[in-house]
Amino acid sequence: MADFPMPVFYSYPPYFTLQPVKETQRKQRESWKDLILSYCCHHRIFIVSLDAAADEFPLFENKAIQRKLSLEARSLLLEDLAASGRGRWLGPDRRRLLVLWRGVGEWADVIHAWARGNGLEDSVVSLEELLGGEDVRGSELAGMPRELLSAALRTLEERGKARVFRGDANDDTGVKFFA
Amino acid sequence: MLIGARHLISNGSPHLQESFKALGDHVNQTKLELMRSQMAVFKESLEQFALKYRSDIRRDPAFRESFHAMCVTIGVDPLASNKGIWNRLLGFGDFYYELGVQCVETCLVLRSSRRRGSAAEAVSADDVLKSLEKLSVLGGGLGVVTVGGSRYVRSQPMELSRDAADALDFAQRSGGFFSAPDLSASLGWAPARTEFTLQQLLRDGLTWLDLPPDAGAPCLYWVPAVGMEQAAAAYAAAHRLA
Amino acid sequence: MGNIFGGDKKREITDVDRAILSLKTQRRKLDDQRKRTDTLIEREAVVARTLVAQGKRDRALLALRKKRLHGQQLEFLDKLVLNVEETDVSLEDVEQLMSDTAEAKEYETRVQSMFGESWTGVDEEAAHAELAEMEAQLLDEEVLDLPSVPQTKVADAAAVPGPPAQVEALAATPREDRPEEPLPA
């Protein structure tokens, strides 16, 4: 995978200290927000967890300058993403965030385009297939977490481009795509 | 014919007066039209010149400066409008607008990650100053400030106290960052004075706080305006980091 | 493909759609079941081999019987999966498949209960043959290891390195209480 070019501020130590002056902090958080989004987009990371180890999600620590963001700072940054509609909390305890480097509406378009590309209009597909089936591997849908998939499918439904349904109680959830 | 005309006008009949007035208007009109056509010729020559030397004007800041001077002499301002022929010919409107925007953005310290790129056109200090002049019509305290030995672009209105200016100067001499004890020692200030000045600089957004990982070490103050990349590199070197 | 007549005519979920979804669900569940059974078969084989090495023939035979049962279930599942893949979208076929699946579920419950009772479902001959094969294999391995050819056919229990304690313990616990993860090879 091509290297992700880090912005200059990532090597600038003060950026890893939550700034005490309000206006300065605002600028700091704005920069981090942009970085988190582009970093996750580049690496196709969907979920950021406050409990993740540094090697799972290394962005919040820069070993080269021996600085890392405090838990409080990370929490605020994720909160910023959620507040601006670029993220959704998973679970009530606000420790895991679904990062929307692509909006739900855009994901809906992506799914529909994928369905069209695979000749699946007026076809039925199960949710499990969309999560891990053969046609999904290597496509734009690969790795999508369940929560994101569900949200995007609901949007497609609202647009009349798909219907989500259950068969009987034992069946997986199904999706029918329309042209 | 004309010699008698004046005599005729002042002593002549109303009808004649009207006729002469009409003639006068006509002459003025003709003069105006003549001037207009002369200007048009001028303008066309200038446009042709601009078109012919377009790439030079874009490429060479010194040539560009001379070209501007020439325009000013004729009374043409190629930066006046974003639309219109000059923009089409030289693409100038955008150039200066963009340069100005880039300057302002550079001021907003956190955007200093945006570079102009090596492929962008060469820019002279004159270009920067010119675009800033254009931006100054927007108000907002934009302008150029001289601190210590360097000129800085100021993006917000502020008054720098003497102490604050001295502290910034020290920052520049120290590679962009320092601790409170460093500042006190170098400028011979009492701790309270140092503290007060640092708080002021933090509040004004000129200085950022940095808590080092070692809890025992003093916290550091960084001045982004001095230059972020160099400062970060100096820090890494000083602490022998990767 | 504009819908000039309006309405939801084109956006309905038909019975055929539901049937297809059911098929896909069945197939996924069968696939999952297949993977689980594969794992069980592997595990029983390992247990059996270890028991044979320890000279515990009866226990080994038990493991092999279980392995065969799993294998039979696997064959059945394979047939079902094949059915699901080849099936046409006709309601009658689907209904047939449903009843087949119901049969399969019945079979499974029967198999579960069987472990506590008699072994009439298992091909006893085959199980014994497999045991003999394992013992022979073990003997071959020993022949390669020892510097001299042994005089007797039956392996001396003391000469065989004991299995890790956890394997022995595992082999001794009843099936239901065993942990899920497969044994180290």
| Digit-coded pLDDT (tens) for C101-122 | 667 667 666 666 665 554 555 6
Give the residue, C111 or A133, on which the prediction is more confident: A133
Residue position matching structure tokens 């009808």: B15
Residues in chain B with CB shorter than 8 Å from the CB of A67 are 210, 213
> Which of A99, A117, A137 is the endpoint of a domain?
A99
Residues from chain A that touch B209, judged by Cβ atoms under 8 A, are 14, 17, 19-20
Q: Are residues A90 and A130 in the same domain?
A: no
Does some domain include residue B40? yes
Residues A84 and A122 in one domain: no
Is residue B82 in some structural domain? no
Query: Is the pTM higher than 0.90?
Result: no
Cα-to-chain-centroid distance, residue B171? 25
Domain, as residue range, for A117: 104-177
| Band of pLDDT at residue B191, cut at 50, 70 and 90 | very high
pLDDT in tens, B152-184: 666 655 678 899 999 999 999 999 999 999 999
Asked if the C-beta of B162 comes within 8 angstroms of chain A's C-beta atoms, the answer is no
Q: Which residue has the tokens 């304690």?
A: C165
Give B124's pLDDT tier (boundaries 50, 70, 90).
low
Residues of A in contact with B231 (CB under 8 A): 12
Query: Looking at the structure, do residues A33 and A69 belong to the same domain, yes or no?
Result: yes
Q: Does residue A95 sit within a domain?
A: yes
A74 and A150 share one domain: no
Cα(B139)–Cα(C83) distance, integer angstroms: 77
A76 and A55 share a domain? yes
**Scanning every residue of chain B, which has its alpha carbon at the shortest distance from the alpha carbon of A63?**
B242
A123 → chain C, closest CA residue: C17
Mean pLDDT for B67-86 is 59
Contact state of A126 with C18 under an 8 Å Cβ cutoff: no
One domain for residues A59 and A126: no
What residue spans define the domains of chain C? 14-173
Residue among B111, B216, B208, B204 nearest A13 (CA): B208
Which of A18-22, A148-152, B14-18 shows the lowest mean pLDDT across its residues? B14-18
Chain C neighbours, 3+ Cβ pairs < 8 A: A
Q: Are residues A61 and A142 in the same domain?
A: no
- Distance between CA atoms of A94 and A78, rounded to whole angstroms? 9
Facing residue for A31 by CB, picked from B110, B212, B220:
B110
DSSP C20-69: HHHHHHHHHHHHHHHHHHHHHHHHHHHHHHHHHHTT-HHHHHHHHHHHHH
Q: Which residues of chain C neighbour A125 with C-beta distances below 8 Å?
A: 24
Pairing of strands A124-126, A87-90: unpaired
Secondary structure of residue B222 in the 3-state scheme? strand
Question: Domain for residue A1, yes or no?
Answer: no
- Highest averaged pLDDT of the listed ranges B97-101, B205-209, C139-143: B205-209
Q: Distance from C1 to chain A by nearest Cα, in Å?
A: 7
Q: Are residues B189 and B125 in the same domain?
A: no
- Do A81 and A21 share a structural domain? yes
Mutating which of A126, A157, A165 best tests the C interface, going by the most C Cβ atoms within 10 A? A126
Least confident of A34-38, B53-57, C28-32: B53-57
| Sequential DSSP letters for A11-34 | G-GGGGS--SSHHHHHHHHHHHHH
Tokens of B106: 């550079």
Q: Are residues B36 and B18 in the same domain?
A: yes
Top-confidence residue, B115 or B200: B200
Of the three residues A72, A99, A126, the one that is the final residue of a domain is A99
Triad B177, B183, B188: Cα angle to 5°: 160
Residue B99 lies in a domain: yes
Average pLDDT of chain B, as a whole number: 71
Amino acid, res. C126 = A
Same domain, A51 and A127: no
B56 interfaces chain A, CB cutoff of 8 Å: no
Question: Chain C residues with CB-CB distance to A under 8 A?
Answer: 1, 10-11, 13, 17-22, 24-25, 28
All residues at 6 or more sequence positions from C173 whose CB lies less than 8 Å from its CB, including other chains = none
Of B129, B154, B179, which marks where a domain is finished?
A: B154
Q: How many CB pairs under 8 A join A and B?
A: 70
> Pick the residue with more confidence: A153 or B77?
A153
3-state secondary structure of B175: coil
Residue A18 and residue A25 in contact, taking contact as beta carbons nearer than 8 Å: yes
- Does residue B87 lie in a domain region? no
Is residue B115 pLDDT above 50, yes or no?
no
We report the CATH number of the domain holding residue A168 as 1.10.10.10
- DSSP code of residue C163: P
Chain A: closest CA distance from residue C59 (Å): 38
User: What DSSP designation does C90 have?
Assistant: -
**Per-residue confidence (pLDDT) for residue B113, from 0 to 100:** 41
Q: Which domain holds residue B167?
A: 162-238
A170–chain C Cβ distance below 8 A for any pair: yes
The domain that holds B139 is classified in CATH as 1.10.10.10
Residues A43 and A93 in one domain: yes
B222 occurs within a structural domain = yes
Cα B140 from Cα C175, distance rounded (Å) = 79
Is A55 within a domain? Answer: yes
Residue that terminates a domain, selected from A46, A81, A99: A99
Full 3-state SS string of A30-73: HHHHHHHHHHHHHHCCCEEECCCCCCCCHHHEEHHHCEECCHHH
Higher local confidence (pLDDT), C17 or C162 = C17
Tell me, yes or no, whether A70 and A91 share the same domain: yes
DSSP secondary structure of B1-59 = -HHHHHHHHHHS-HHHHHHHHHHHHHHHHHHHHHHHHHHHHHHHHHHHHHHHTHHHHHH
Would you tell me which residues 56-75 of chain A have a C-beta closer than 8 angstroms to some C-beta of chain B? 63-68
Distances (CA, A) of A96 to A28, A32, A51, A91, A99: 22, 17, 8, 7, 9
Sheet order of strands, A124-126 included: A124-126, A173-177, A162-166
> Quick one: closest CA in A to B222, which residue?
A14
- Closest-CA distance, B153 to chain A, in angstroms, reads 18
Is the ipTM here above 0.95?
no
Q: What is the helix (H) or strand (E) element at residue B126, kind and residue range?
A: helix B125-136
B118 is a domain residue: yes
The answer to whether A176 contacts chain C (CB < 8 Å) is yes
pLDDT of residue A85: 95
Beta bridge partners of B222: B177, B208
* Nearest alpha-carbon partner for B76 in B98, B45, B55, B100: B45
The number of folded domains in chain A is 2
From A126, A160, A178, residue closest to C21, measured CB to CB = A126
Check contact A-B (3+ Cβ pairs < 8 Å): yes
